[in-house]
Structure formats: structure tokens, C-alpha cells
A and B are shown apart, each in its own frame.
Chain A
Amino acid sequence: GAVVSQHPSRVICKSGTSVKIECRSLDFQATTMFWYRQFPKQSLMLMATSNEGSKATYEQGVEKDKFLINHASLTLSTLTVTSAHPEDSSFYICSALGTDNSPLHFGNGTRLTVT
């Protein structure tokens, strides 16, 4: 079945630094990828939609200059959390949509801790 790989699975960084999270579709081409954020004991919240070769579309309330998304190829999207602060600590999850009618598949998430 479709596999989405996310890296790293865990990252700890200092306040003010930037962190890049990668999302790869391993056995299919993903025209669209989605980035979600999940705080403890809460549901997933969509942050942005990333289309290959074009600018990402951000959900209301998500700062595009803080959460930089790049979708340079059909198998890779990256999310960079710039100037991270402790309140950015969360579980970040990507998902990828193939070119056929298969369901959306998710990566295993990245737990970001900002100290």
C-alpha cells in the first residue's frame, strides 16, 4: 500500500532556531500534500495544503512566514518552522494524495519540542 515517510520522528530545538520536517511519498507521486498540527489531547488541525510546483495554501490563522512549505517535487514536501518558540511545540503530521483515487495516507508524525 501507499507509504508516506516523515523525518525526523522527533526533534528538540532551542527557541529562536528553525527546524525542517520532510514528508516523502515512497511509492507514488503526490500531487498534493497536507500539513497538520496536533496538540496534546486534541484533534488534528489542518495547517496548509501544498501543491507540487506552486505556493502552499494556508488555513486561516496559520502564519505563512513562520511555517514555510516547499513542495519541489512529486515525492517531497518540507515544512520549516522558523524562529521556533515553545508554543510551537506540537505533533506535526503530513499526508499525501496520489494521482489516482486512493485515500489520503499519512506520515507517522514529527514531535517537535522547543526549549
Chain B
Amino acid sequence: DAKTTQPTSMDCAEGRAANLPCNHSTISGNEYVYWYRQIHSQGPQYIIHGLKNNETNEMASLIITEDRKSSTLILPHATLRDTAVYYCIVRVVGNEKLTFGTGTRLTIIP
């Protein structure tokens, strides 16, 4: 699976949109971009995934660049409960293993 690069940490003010970037410049055509988050002492929680089109669900939006070499996870109105480590993962269809990088530690500031 392609490697991803994320900033180590980010802060965001409560109520504002949190934009978390991810670089995956070596992504191949059959690899999806997945986002998970891990709140302290819990298991990872699935957020969203996409192949090449932008995606939105009740939790977040995923914007993937046209060349697919990077993406941004958007939490539209961050709350204190969104404080967590966010992992961007690319995965080949058919390979169900998820390889976690170091992720971005997002802190929501009151």
C-alpha cells in the first residue's frame, strides 16, 4: 500500500472547520483513501473513504485532488469531542489490511 504523509499535529478552534491534509503521492489507480480517527484509549473509528470523487457523510467531507496525490479531510464544525489522532490510509482494493502511519493529532481549542 502507498505511504501517506500527514502533519504531526494541528490545532483548531471549536466551531470552526478543521482541515486535515494528507499526501499520498505514490497512490495507484486502484487504491482508495480511507480516514479513521482514534480518540484516546479507544479503537479507531471509521470516518470516510473515497477513490477519486469528493465524498461527504454525516461526519465529514473528503476532498481528493484531481491527480489523487493528496486529500483533505474536513470536519465542518469541530467540537471538543473531535480531539483525536486522525489517520489517512490508502488501501488496495482486495487487500483488507490497513497499515497505520503516525497520523495527525488534532486538538480542538475551546
Residues of A within 8 A of B (CB): 4, 6, 32, 34, 36, 43-46, 49, 91, 93, 95, 97, 103-109, 111
Instruction: Name the segment of B21-29, B65-73, B75-83, B98-106 touching the other chain.
Output: B98-106
Interface of B is mostly: loop
Among candidates B46, B49, B100, residue contacting A44 with C-beta atoms closer than 8 Å:
B100
Say yes or no: A97 contacts B96, CB within 8 Å.
yes
Say yes or no: B45 contacts A106, CB within 8 Å.
yes
Residues of B within 8 A of A (CB): 34, 36, 38, 41-46, 49, 87, 96-103
Which chain A residue shows the least CB distance to B48?
A103
Say yes or no: B45 contacts A103, CB within 8 Å.
no
Which chain B residue shows the least CB distance to A49?
B97
Bound form: Cα–Cα A49–B98 in Å: 11
Among candidates B43, B49, B96, B97, residue contacting A93 with C-beta atoms closer than 8 Å:
B43
| Chain B contacts for A43, CB-based, 8 A | 87, 100-103
Say yes or no: B46 contacts A105, CB within 8 Å.
yes
Say yes or no: A108 contacts B46, CB within 8 Å.
no
Bound form: Cα–Cα A105–B98 in Å: 11
